[in-house]
Amino acid sequence: MELILKEDIDNLGFKDEVVVVKNGYGRNFLIPTGKAVLATDSAKKVLAENLKQQTKKNQKLIKEAEKLANDILKIDLKISSKVGEGDKLFGSISSKDLSDALSKQGKVLDKKYIIIPGRNIKRLGNYEATLRLHKNVVIKYPFEIVAEIKKKEDK
């Protein structure tokens, strides 16, 4: 079923994007909640006209997103976490943790625009997340998870 999204939806697409979803998901959730409409020929024509008008606005947004992408790629990010036996983490690292770590570096990015392979990470090492900064600006961002340095307590 082809739908036109009326708002950004995690792991599906951005506003005004034409997406293909399963019939039940479209009929039972997206359309009744107003998050999408059927992509009929007339709706696609209206969407095309709206997108043409938004193109100039989007050029500025794309430039800002590309600048942010370049700034983020310059950051060598290491996330520290408590470690158990071997290289297993206590808990896991998710897109929220990556979002918080980027915020500490001065680059605010909502967790819904960060996609980590497997949704969360449970081991030390180097990983790559996908950051969606704009519909047309998607980057692969490398980061590392390191062991938290344990502080020795004097008794």
Q: Which domains does the chain have, with CATH numbers?
A: 2-64 (3.40.5.10), 71-147 (3.10.430.100)
pTM: 0.59
DSSP assignment of 96-152, as one string? HHHHHHHHHTT----GGGEE-TTSEEEE-EEEEEEEEEETTEEEEEEEEEEEPPPPP
Q: Give the 3-state secondary structure of residue 33.
A: coil
Q: Hey, what long-range contacts does 126-129 have (CB within 8 A, 24 or more apart)?
A: 129/95, 129/98
pLDDT in tens, the chain (155 residues): 999 999 888 888 888 888 999 999 999 999 999 999 999 998 889 888 888 887 778 788 888 888 888 887 787 888 888 887 777 878 788 888 888 888 888 877 877 788 887 778 888 888 888 888 877 788 888 888 888 776 554 44
